[in-house]
Structure 1
């Protein structure tokens, strides 16, 4: 269970919302109360779901064993104790890395005889990326090069010691941690802040959205080159972009945007640059409150949506209504979200430095969905289209049937 000492956190589980499982509330020394910099900009679960980390503000990252009521920490496993990392600067992005084997072990400043290590990357306001060994609590590496806030950090899901970072300095960097970060690819193309970055499941593509330049850029993670801009300047009105995420099979890319009057979510085919659907009608009740974060569920059946006046909404692409939405809460603005790797739970971070865990809708994927996900994980749209299949099946495999289920309010 989380420590309740000062500058740590306390657990609260009472709420009128039945979807709320529990909440971690930051306890700060009196000297920090009311001061800016307490936001939880990023949260993450480790790949195996055994750890949870969040940036609780004021440069502190807290890491706890998951689930929080686990008894493993009481069985003599010292490395399962809660841990905190003082990063020295506000933390805007964080990400767990893969467990490194002896053959591919990250650089370490201290002796590590565990045979493996669980890395945690933290992106700081001053542009530095600090790498931590979660099991030992030691800072093992600092990556320098960004000239602005490091907003997003991602370890591609192929298990390699590669780290992707995006920054307000308008660049994207791909670091080779096996070589202590000395091998780095710098990708430029955005004209302003990069709001969000995501990597496809087959690790072939990266997508980035620029908050003010209105660009949705696709990049090759194999050749480290720019592929295309999905928006192409089609919108005539002023709008901002805030978030993006690939579906687990990599065949869909969701992006969130704001026009000044309402928010919408676009669903794209990243291979063809075709916009499959624009979803707006579901979010009219949010008014001018922005979408802060979106993420597909591990099954790919749902999309989590966090706004700055409502903790969480869950939408199933193709349906005419949200599957779940929490009550409006303007006192605790939502900033980020993350699904547990096994699904069923979503963590959301708030502007006041707290974390909430929600019970997510769960559905057993149908055989049709499982077959499509297995195929699209390794087969692009260009490879699917020539197949001698009935039109209806081709539309299903390429997600082009989604548009036929879009709300009448969408366009």
Structure 2
């Protein structure tokens, strides 16, 4: 079956609408990480990349069970160089650590002196997870547990890197010391995604191919306290994310699944968002929590209102788009990753057609910038809004500068309001209808 039969028109499908890629501004690469050749005997796929909340560290799953934990130069937007001689390889036997039990007592590395000179936080580490790494997430916070409760480990004294593994384990590491801290066991299959609650509550959510989403409380030594299932579809869960205010949890997966749960009432049925025609592979909230972006194998990314379930925009990666009867099959334009930029008006996506795209939500006919790169797998925006990191099947990572536009004062006000006011409450405000529509992003 030819590509022309998979589209609504008989013309050969393209990646862009009525424009050649040479006529789109190229994204500027500011740094890159090459594959680790000394691990060439095993697969190298970079299935996940992650940023520390303060951009002090970048984590990279580079294949062969290996994760590199690298200090990030926030001033020059690149990996902090000149410390190769200080790289530490961490290999600890699983026999040294018990399930949901710490390896050893922890000393607070992030004291005031070290915070000043970064002598502890800025070391480079190579972590051998002893299993294929599919997901990464950084977390930090302040414990809310009564001090009278005996705990083995004080996670709030560290920057934590969580690694989700192929056999269902989750290993937590100290980013400051490179130590394996604790191992969480309950999943029965690949852990596809991890997300720490942004409010510092030290709650970790994980998504797995065992059709479940699980919640782990690091305040209580990693206790798993809740399991949610993709029902009734029993689909793989490929991605899960907390909303910026920690009040919602989004998860996506097979069978066109997009669900949103109320984090304060996990026993209530989730809201199901309908619109994709194929597996949904990635999701990401906007920094103000007003929008949700999802990336799908149906060649599109959709921008949703997570409070109402309305689809606001469709970002097409194949022109003309696949015919409905073929949208659920192979098309060469699977969209594998999506991430919002900090201005809430730009989105980055990676697609099997070999392009990373920057989209302006006010003009979605074509992306505003692109970068050509084969075999793209994942992308993540830095918390400071400076760059987007992109991982590939060859075990490489590239860093691209983001488009720079000065947001209007009106948009900044919208972001500030929407951080605290859901779209379902906007209509109750005593404001003109046009302003309400603007606040709900209905003007994009």
TM-score w.r.t. the length of structure 1 is 0.83
Check 1:257–1:66 CA distance in 2 against 1; reply closer, same or farther (3 A cut): same
Between the aligned partners of 1:299 and 1:95, the Cα distance in structure 2 is 22
1:179-194 pair list within 5 angstroms: 179-190=220-231, 191-194=234-237
Partner of 1:298: 342
**1:54 partnered with 2:60:** yes
What's 2:109 paired with? none
Aligned mate of 1:240, from 269, 279, 288: 279
* Correspondence for 2:392 among 328, 347, 350: 350
- How much does 1:167 deviate? 0.5
Query: How far, CA to CA, are the matches of 1:290 and 1:361 in structure 2?
Result: 24
Q: What do residues 11-30 of structure 1 show as CA deviations (whole Å, max 9, x unaligned)?
A: xxxxxx7611121112233x
Q: Does 1:33 align with 2:33?
A: no
1:153 correspondence with 2:197: no
SS in 1 for 2:200: coil
Counterparts of residues 250-269 of structure 1 (less than 5 Å): 250-259=289-298, 263-269=299-305
Matched, 1:45 2:51: yes
The ranges of structure 1 where at least 4 consecutive aligned residues each deviate by more than 4 angstroms after the TM superposition are 68-76, 99-109
User: Does residue 168 of structure 2 align to residue 120 of structure 1?
Assistant: no
In 2, Cα distance between equivalents of 1:160 and 1:311: 37
For residue 175 of structure 1, the aligned residue among 210, 216, 240 is 216
Aligned residues between the structures: 368
| Partners of 2:204 and 2:27 in 1: CA distance | 37
Match of 1:207 in 2: 250
Uncovered stretches (5+) of structure 2, i.e. residues with no partner: 1-25, 87-116, 322-330
* Cα root mean square deviation, aligned: 2.7
Q: Structure 1 stretches of 5 or more lacking a match?
A: 1-16, 403-411
SS at match of 2:168: coil
Contact 2:143 2:202 in 1 (8 A): no
CA separation in 2, counterparts of 1:115 and 1:242? 31
**8 Å contact 1:127–1:148 — kept in the other structure?**
yes
- How far is 1:336 from its partner? 0.9
Partner of 2:105: none
- Whether 1:227 and 2:236 are equivalent positions in the alignment is no
Corresponding residue to 1:321 among 366, 369, 374: 366
Maintained 8 Å contact 2:44/2:393: yes
SS in structure 1 of the partner of residue 435 of structure 2: helix
Contact kept? 2:305, 2:311, Cα under 8 Å: yes
Q: C-alpha separation between the residues in 1 aligned to 2:212 and 2:145?
A: 31
Residue 271 (structure 1) aligns with: 307
SS of the residue 1:284 aligns to:
coil
TM superposition shift of 1:86: 0.7
Map of 2:32 onto structure 1: 23
Structure 1 residues 64-79: aligned runs within 5 Å: 64-67=70-73, 68=78, 70=80, 77-79=119-121
Moved more, 80-89 or 96-105: 96-105
| TM-superposed deviation, 1:309 | 3.5
Matched residue SS, 1:396: helix
Q: Say if 2:307 and 2:424, in contact at 8 Å, map to a contact too.
A: yes
Q: Is the alpha carbon distance of 1:108 and 1:123 closer, same or farther for their aligned partners in structure 2, counting shifts above 3 Å?
A: farther
What is the CA–CA distance in structure 2 between the aligned matches of 1:315 and 1:220, rounded to whole Å? 29
Tell me the distance in 2 between the aligned counterparts of 1:138 and 1:370: 41
User: CA deviation digits over 1:15-66, x for unaligned, max 9?
Assistant: xx7611121112233xx4253x311111111000011111011111101111
Shift of 1:265: 1.8
Which residue is equivalent to 1:288? 332
Shift of 1:171: 0.5
Secondary structure of 1:368's match? Answer: helix
- TM-score w.r.t. the length of structure 2 is 0.77
Matches of 2:308 and 2:145, distance apart in 1: 39
Name which of structure 1's ranges 69-78 and 282-291 shifts more when overlaid on structure 2. 69-78
CA shift at 1:125, angstroms? 0.3
Deviation at 1:279, TM superposition (A): 2.9
Distance in 2 of aligned mates of 1:72 and 1:24: 15
